[in-house]
Amino acid sequence: MQALQASQGAQVSQAGTTCRRNSPRACGRIGSEDLDYHILGEQLKNRLHLVKLSVGTESVESLDAWQKSPRARGPDGLPRHVTRMWPRRADELLDGGSIYWVIKGVVLCRQRILRLDEVTRADGIRRCAIVLDPDLTRVTATPKRPFQGWRYLPGAEAPPDLRAGRPHEDTLPPELSLALADIGVR
């Protein structure tokens, strides 16, 4: 069977399963370094994320400053965002998902979601606390229209992370990032 498939142009992996034509990464036929890259890329594309407006935030720096305040931190000292709705797809979010922050109409950064905690406030209503990694990762500026609450963001639609720049390089203001994104410069 393998010989027949190979003669017809299909690739066969070591496990004996047929792979798509011209898909070396599906068969593990490329160098280990490339294979690791493609596997990582596929994992990132398959992740589920959240996107949320950061209301009242002027910049990534002001979001970072707010999250360092005692009011924005949980008892464990980690930043968290409390929301009324519990994500139905919590297991997918906790499998490497992030929350992407929209600041002034532009997605500018993300934070890994560490866990979801149940919180009951003084009014007796149960809520969901999204516990976040304290590190903010800047992403490619991507315009996003206003919406209420949070939305799921498939990994394939998530803006890519920015490469690490020079440590003293200033970031662009959100308005300029939005204008550049509108004309296709990212």
Burial of 84 (0-12, 13-18, 19+ CB in 10 A): exposed
Distance CA(119)–CA(87), nearest Å, equals 14
Distances (CA, A) of 81 to 5, 169, 179: 53, 29, 29
Residues whose CB falls within 8 Å of the CB of residue 130, separated by 6 or more in sequence, listed in order: 50, 80, 81, 82, 83, 99, 113, 116
Segment 62-83, tens digit of pLDDT: 999 999 998 888 889 999 999 9
Segment 141-181, tens digit of pLDDT: 888 988 888 999 999 999 988 877 644 455 677 777 777 77
Q: Which residue has the higher pLDDT, 168 or 125?
A: 125
Contact 93, 50 (CB under 8 A): yes
pTM: 0.69
What pLDDT is recorded for position 46? 75
Average pLDDT over residues 55-60: 90
- Give the single-character DSSP code of 146: -
| Alpha helix ranges (H) inside 18-129 | 24-27, 32-45, 60-67, 90-93
